[in-house]
Amino acid sequence: MNDGPLIVQSDKTLLLEVDHEDAAACRKAIAPFAELERSPEHVHTYRLTPLGLWNARAAGHDAEQVVDTLLTYSRYAVPHALLVDVAETMARYGRLRLEKHPVHGLVLASSDRPVLEEVLRAKKVAGMLGERLDPDTVAVHPSERGNLKQALLKLGWPAEDFAGYVDGEAHAIDLDPEGWSLRPYQAEAVDSFWHGGSGVVVLPCGAGKTLVGAAAMAQARATTLILVTNTVSARQWKDELVRRTSLTADEIGEYSGTSKEIRPVTIATYQVLTTRRKGVYPHLELLDARDWGLIVYDEVHLLPAPIFRMTADLQARRRLGLTATLVREDGREGDVFSLIGPKRYDAPWKDIEAQGWIAPADCVEVRVSLPESERLVYATAEPDERYRLAACTHHKVDVVRSLVEQHGDAPTLVIGQYLDQLDELATALDAPVISGDTKVAERQRLFDAFRSGEIRRLVVSKVANFSIDLPSAEVAIQVSGSYGSRQEEAQRLGRLLRPGRDGKVARFYTVVARDTVDADFAAHRQRFLAEQGYAYRIVDAADLG
Amino acid sequence: MATGHRSLADQLRSWSDERLARLLHDRPDLATPAPSDSAQLASRAATRSSVLRTLDLLTRLELSVLDALVVVGPTSREALLGIVHADPAEVGAALDRLVDLALAWEAETGLRPLTGVVEALAGSPGTSGLRPSSAEPAPPETIAAAVEALSEPARALLLHVLDQGGEARTEARTHVSVADARTPAEELLARRLLTPRGGGTVVLPGEVGLVLRGGRTTTTPIDPRPTLLTSERDQALVDRGAAGAAHEALHHVEVLLEEWGVRPPSVLRGGGLAVRDLKGAAQLLQTDPVAAAFWVELAYAAGLLGHGLGPEGDLAWLPTTAVDAWIEESPAHRWRTLVSGWLVSNRVPGQVGRRDGAGKAWNALTSELTAPHQAETRRMVLDELAALPEGTTLAAATGPASLVERLAWLRPRRPRGRTDQIGWALAEGERLGVLGLGGASTPLRLLLDGETDAAVEALAAALPEPVDHVLLQADLTAVAPGPLEPTVARRVQLLADVESRGSATVYRFGASSVRRGLDAGWTPAEIHAFLASVSRTPVPQPLTYLVDDAARTFGTVRVGHAESFLRADDETALTELLHHPRAASLGLRRLAPTVLISTTPVDVLLQRLRELGAAPVVEAPDGTVHIARPEPLRSRTRETTPVAAARGAARETARITAVIAGLRAGDRALPVRPPATAVDPRGRSTPSATLTALREAIESGTSVVIGVIGDDGLPTDRTVEPMSVEGGRLTALDPRTETLRAFAVHRIVSVRPAGDAP
């Protein structure tokens, strides 16, 4: 019997015992093809999925390597059916290729005629293909490059895209490494991306995804369109680019609800692109406004559906997706794979934390009991009212106040969902509120003040979930959230994990009402944290002292 | 031949007990029911059905030797060795086996086949296609000269007839001289190379065929048995792969039985399992329906699945009572039970989903889902693979085809569906873990050698070691990094839900699963203590909190039994009822000032309350439902499971010994009985004695006097030469008229040798 660190289950999960001496080597070996599903303290769970295996194929691994890795590290015999399945799944990728034909332009070519025949008969691809040029080649309407890839993935025959990219309009961009340099993993991520052409780089919050974007731009040396989640985030990108690259503020345009500048480097928000007036998207022409050489998608896991549709038309341009997690609450991971590209780089959160690039965190769930009167109201409330009732109990205010006092002067964020509650908290804590209603300038001012230490406490709504760097925050207290959203939890924790002072331990509190849906949602989110390897405790409000 | 016998019965009588035992073992149909003496045994051995059954067991070489014997007629051993195109030593061995199987015997005229063989063998696969020789064959030199003298068209025709099975129809005149011959056919008839058979049929006699084929029955050698195409693999790797599969197999069957014990699928009206239920099983086992059909059938073959009454009172597929004992055994023992059932099962799950002749898809567990020789073919496949040296496996791509060829040589008469059957045997063997990477695993080799205990040990050594601990994690999961010891597994499974199974098991704790533990009578302190003892790692704080939290809310709502309730706004009325002297038998209990419950059913209670002077009304039912955790259901274990049959080898030997002892006793009693006639009080022989005597006469080619009841109801004696007995009719030659006549066997009342006085 082998004494490996890995146990291969027949349901296609891989269990990795972390305390095993070969665990690190094994992790490295399986990372290219297995998706890390959860990483609690002792046993990490990876899963083999078709997407994961195809990602591996795209990165140049073959089935033999995968099987060999499994056999090498597996403690017990590997289920035969699983090995067969791995080989079969991986063999499906690349049977079809999108290529550039000197005469006919874009073509779909196949080395396996039956597969091509099967695909040609599928209803889903009807209308995307042109005439049959020879038994193994079919013309493709250039505009359908993205849609075709999407459809082929759904059919289970993902195509490899060799049709190449346009260079775009050249524009000189260089990194400006003064007093800083790319971290090794960032450089590696850029290399992997550039080598693969298009694709997604997965890095945890606070690991410097913006710099990966900047480095990719320096690599492309072409006009770039950057798509971000919101305006604040757009400003941060701009600041960061001005600071870290040779770009000047004049070369960077912001395309948002407030200003519509188109410059060699343009930062646009998802919101403005997806604004619809009378059934049309008026800002869509932005995508064709310049001959972009690179398109950067920030927070790919939040990419809204209309952007996917638009992206389908941008397949000739290099695309870089940045995200902390490939998990999408809507399950559209396959669209990311086929339209943005395969995963090109992935570094697990904990590893980067262990290297000291992001701060460790201590998560605590504080449970408050609803008083008798509120319990009765809660018990008789309509189901859709219940969460709000439970989440906004007044008892939470007291608990938050005592938590804040416990941490004295430590920079503290209080995060919530409901404005009434936030206002109540702000009054109780004597702290400013940032919500969706707050003007961008005001938001900017408050965030700056928080960063510089002028303000020690800040009450924020979900506007602060994404892409806002508050590296000085040491304590976050969450009082309510979007039900049980896992990626929201990741983002909020991410606010805290920006590298700060040496030895800083971030504290993340969640205040929940006992015996209510609030606690159920919290359990869902906490499970996510525990799966990410964060130790967490549950304490009763009464025991806070 | 000096050692010749008068009849097959005589020869059998001269055999040792061991030799007889071997015969009865190889031809089990001869021993059931036990024959009374050797004559009856010999008679039974000559019946068409028994002969056909035995021919099926012969290899190509053995068939060829038998065929040669049929072609040349009674002959010496040496002569026979000369005409079979194979290594004489092998031919000799084959001949010995034929004699051992009583398909051929040593008559006074030489070795000869059993009479029934000639007919049974005609046109069979694996034979030469030559006809039996004529009664008085011309010497080979004469035939060779005649062939030599043939015209070209006649020679071509002769070869054509030979290739077409030695028989043809012609309009030619049968009695012509060579000079008169007008057509090639007439030329052949004139030269006596074809023999007329009447009705325009001509036959190419065996001796001519032999000459045409150069003195042998076949032109190509028949002894090289096809070799298996193999590749070299480390036996350790084979064993490891097989053990992994064995582990999976156990897991699959366990999961299936566990699920079906609670939610059994119904039995279709025509027996079998619905396609939908099979798909459900496939989903449960995370596999495809083809594999799922195998697991279902495997459980059935091992006697672990049967039908019984399901939860709704309908007929359902349920785990049998044997499961409860099986599940307690060690994994290797459990595996052995599965394999034993599989080895002797004729069921063909590989057929599931395919369509039968009527275009209807086969369902799993249908009683007709069998193939007569599946167990035998499977066993041969396994024997062939186990006969390969350790570390030699069937070549991945070309191996199965070579195996098919080899089996076709070993059993030429079993061609139907063989390729499928062999494919199924290989695939099933891989799934079950008796084969690994196309090679026989060590446990299988031991099992086939009859060393069951050693096989179990070998498998136990290859299976993952059981572990006695789990790793508890903050995400409320517990991982058992290997198969958990059953006692620990059961307790963990009570407290947590299984999330992923395989070599390791992942459990998840939740409020509901912890509550299940509390339901089963655990106290929170016990749960804490158990978790601490079973975990290699510290118990995470959230888990401790979860247990306490579940305990806090446990039992706040209480549930009890009541047949009926009484409600009244008037508290005193209820108090009065409660304390009424005659109300004691109603089982009343007060739950609240205005509510009583009773253990008496509503209809009775209503009556009694009225007797007590109350005026109750019945409330409409408000639809409260009581859901209890269903007990796993079980059906009766089938009385004779295939497993039981497999264990009966020793019993079988004992039975054969008893049969032989009976035979000997019957033979000893022979001199005091009239030969070959058991006579009833009216002087008539019993039907079985009649048949025996007739078969013996056929075998020895002697005349007998039979007493036949005529239409007038009176017996008349006739002297005949019996030719065959089939389907209740005796075909015999009447020597006076030289014609064939048929007699109904039930009209024959006596048989005695022609020389004897009546």
Taking the C-alpha atoms of residue B13 and residue A543, their distance in angstroms, rounded to an integer, is 98
Q: What is the ipTM, given to two decimal places? A: 0.77
Residue A197 domain-assigned? yes
Query: Domain containing A53: what range?
Result: 6-92
Assigned domain for A406 exists: yes
Q: Are A329 and A378 in the same domain?
A: no
Q: Please give the structure tokens belonging to residue B433.
A: 């873990």
pLDDT in tens, B444-483: 999 888 888 998 888 888 887 788 889 998 888 899 888 8
In a domain, A172, yes or no: no
- The verdict on residue A500 lying in a domain is yes
Would an 8 Å CB–CB cutoff place B90 in contact with chain A?
no
AA identity, residue B572? T
Checking if the pLDDT of B756 tops 70, the result is no
A302 & A376 share domain: no
Mean pLDDT of A291-303: 86
CB atoms within 10 A of CB B582: 9
Instruction: Identify residue B250 by its one-letter amino acid code.
Output: L
**Residue written as tokens 């341009």?**
A317
Q: How far apart are CA A391 and CA A421, in angstroms?
A: 9
Residue B170's SS3 state is coil
DSSP state letter for B8: H
Q: Which of A70, A92, A114 is the last residue of a domain?
A: A92
Last residue within a domain, chosen from A92, A119, A147: A92
From A38's Cα to the closest Cα of chain B, the distance in A is 9
Q: Within a domain: residue A345?
A: yes
Strand partners, B306: B318
If you average pLDDT over residues B171-197, what whole number do you get?
75
Question: Are A265 and A305 members of one domain?
Answer: yes
Element (H, E) at A508: strand A506-513
Same domain, A203 and A306: yes
Cβ burial B341-375 (10 Å sphere, 16+ → b, else e): bbbbbbbbbbbbbeeeeeeeebbbbbeebebebbb
- If we measure between CA atoms, which residue out of B35, B102, B52 comes closest to residue B688? B35
Both A78 and A104 in a single domain?
no
Joined tokens for residue A130: 């042109």
Measured CA to CA in angstroms, residue A5 lies from A16, A348, B165, B604 at distances of 6, 18, 68, 68
Q: Helix H segments across B263-347? A: 275-284, 289-301, 322-326, 331-343
Query: Distance (Å) from the C-alpha of residue A275 to the closest C-alpha of chain B?
Result: 40
Q: Extract long-range pairs of A516-519: CB within 8 Å, 24+ residues apart.
A: A516/A370, A516/A378, A516/A386, A516/A387, A516/A389, A516/A390, A517/A386, A517/A387, A517/A390, A518/A387, A518/A390, A518/A391, A518/A480, A519/A367, A519/A390
**Pairing label, strands B167-169, B392-394:** unpaired
Closest CA to A400 of A439, A364, A371, A434: A364
Does residue A173 belong to any structural domain of this protein?
A: no
B247: chain A residues, CB-CB within 8 Å: 76-77
Please determine, for residue A44, whether its predicted confidence score (pLDDT) is greater than 80. yes
pLDDT, tens digit, for every residue of A106-142?
Answer: 888 888 888 888 888 888 887 788 888 888 888 888 7
CB contact (8 A) between residue B465 and residue A1: yes
Chain B residue at shortest CA distance from A13: B500
CB contact (8 A) between residue A7 and residue B537 = no
Residues in B touching A41 (Cβ below 8 Å): 473-474, 537, 540
Which residue in B has a C-alpha nearest to residue A530's C-alpha? B475
Element (H, E) at B606: helix B602-611
- The residues, any chain, with a CB within 8 Å of residue B594's CB and separated by 6 or more, are B567, B568, B569, B571, B574
The reply to whether A535 falls in a domain is yes
Q: How far is CA A312 from CA A168, A337, A363, B220, in A?
A: 17, 12, 40, 69
Res B295: pLDDT: 92
Ranges A154-163, B234-243, B513-522, B645-654: which has the least confidence: B645-654
**Residue B233 forms contact with A (CB below 8 Å):** no
User: Cβ-count burial of B168 within 10 angstroms (0-12 exposed, 13-18 middle, 19+ buried)?
Assistant: middle
Q: Find which of B234, B255, B295, B500 to mutate to test the A interface (most A CBs within 10 Å of its CB).
A: B500
A211 in the same domain as A136 = no
Looking at the structure, tell me whether residues A210 and A143 fall in a common domain.
Answer: no
CATH number of the domain bearing residue A512: 3.40.50.300
**What's the domain count of chain A?**
4
Contact call for B241 and A11, based on CB within 8 A: no
Query: A357-361, B130-134, B723-727: which has the minimum mean pLDDT?
Result: A357-361
Q: Could you give the CA distance from residue A326 to residue A200 in angstroms, rounded to a whole number?
A: 9
Task: Report the 10 Å Cβ neighbour count for A401.
Answer: 14
What local confidence, expressed as pLDDT, does residue B338 receive?
A: 92
The pair of structure tokens assigned to B598 is: 């009773």
Mean pLDDT in residue range B2-23: 81
By CA distance, what is B483's nearest residue in A? A76
Which one of B473, B476, B545 makes the best mutation probe of the A interface by having the most chain A beta carbons within 10 Å?
A: B473
Q: Are residues A462 and A517 in the same domain?
A: yes
Question: What is the distance in angstroms between the CA of the first residue and the CA of the last residue of chain A?
Answer: 53
* CB proximity B504 to A under 8 Å: yes
**Confidence band, pLDDT 50/70/90 cuts, at residue B296:** very high
d(CA B502, CA B508): 15
Q: Residues of A with CB below 8 A from B501's CB?
A: 9-11
Interfacial A residues in 360-399 facing B (CB < 8 Å):
365
CA distances (Å), origin B93, targets B11, B59, B223 = 19, 12, 12
Tell me the per-residue pLDDT of B506-533, one tens digit each, with 9 for 90 and over.
999 988 889 888 888 888 888 999 999 9
Range scoring the smallest mean pLDDT among A280-284, A363-367, B562-566: A280-284
| Residues A16 and A134 both lie in one domain | no
CA distance A106 to A292: 20
From A192, A225, A233, A185, select the one nearest A208 (Cα to Cα). Answer: A185
On whether the CB atoms of residues A99 and A109 are closer than 8 A, the answer is yes
Domains and CATH numbers, chain B: 140-212 (no CATH), 230-462 (no CATH), 474-553 (no CATH), 559-630 (3.30.70), 673-753 (2.30.30.100)
For B215, the token pair is 């003195």
Q: CA nearest A540: which of B545, B751, B723?
A: B545
Predicted confidence band of residue B342 (pLDDT cuts 50, 70, 90)? very high
Which residue, B565, B535, B562, is CA-closest to B547? B535
A53: nearest Cα among A26, A90, A79? A90
- The residue from A353, A372, A407 where one domain ends is A353
**What are A303's two structure tokens?**
């990419």
Sort A61 into a burial class: Cβ within 10 Å, 0-12 / 13-18 / 19+: middle
Asked if residues A439 and A463 have their Cβ atoms less than 8 Å apart, the reply is: no
Band of the pLDDT at B337, cuts 50, 70, 90?
very high
Residue A1 forms part of a structural domain: no
Residues A241, A259 share a domain:
yes
pLDDT at B300: 92
Question: Does the structure show a pLDDT above 50 at B432?
Answer: yes
DSSP string covering B236-285: HHHHHHHHHHHHHHHHHHHHHHHHHHHSPPBBPTTSSB-HHHHHHHHHHT
Q: Are residues A489 and A535 in the same domain?
A: yes
Q: Please indicate whether, in this complex, the C-beta atoms of B471 and A76 are within 8 angstroms of each other.
A: no
Chain A residue with minimal CA distance to B471? A42
With vertex at residue A100, the alpha carbon angle to CA A94 and CA A102, rounded to the nearest 5 degrees, is 140
* Chain-chain contact of B502 with A81 (C-beta, under 8 angstroms): no
What integer best gives the mean pLDDT of chain A? 82
Q: ∠ at Cα B158 (B155, B159), nearest 5°?
A: 90
Phi and psi at residue B589, in whole multiples of 5°?
A: -145, 140
Residue type, B399: G
Residues of chain B in contact with residue A45, where contact means CB-CB under 8 angstroms, are 500, 506
**Are residues A210 and A117 part of one domain?**
no
Q: Smallest Cα–Cα separation from B79: which of B101, B103, B110, B100? A: B110
Contact A531, A40 (CB under 8 A): yes
**Count of CB atoms within 10 A of residue B36's CB?**
18
Mark yes or no for CB contact B504/A15 under 8 Å. Answer: yes
* Per-residue model confidence as pLDDT tens digits over B677-722: 445 555 566 777 788 888 878 877 788 888 888 888 788 888 888 8
Strands A13-17 and A6-8: antiparallel
What is the C-alpha separation between B656 and B26, in angstroms, rounded? 11
Strands A506-513 and A475-478, how do they pair?
parallel
CA distance B309 to B321: 13
The whole-number average pLDDT for the span A357-361 is 66
B479 contacts in chain A (CB < 8 Å): 15, 42-43
Q: What was the pLDDT predicted at B626?
A: 41
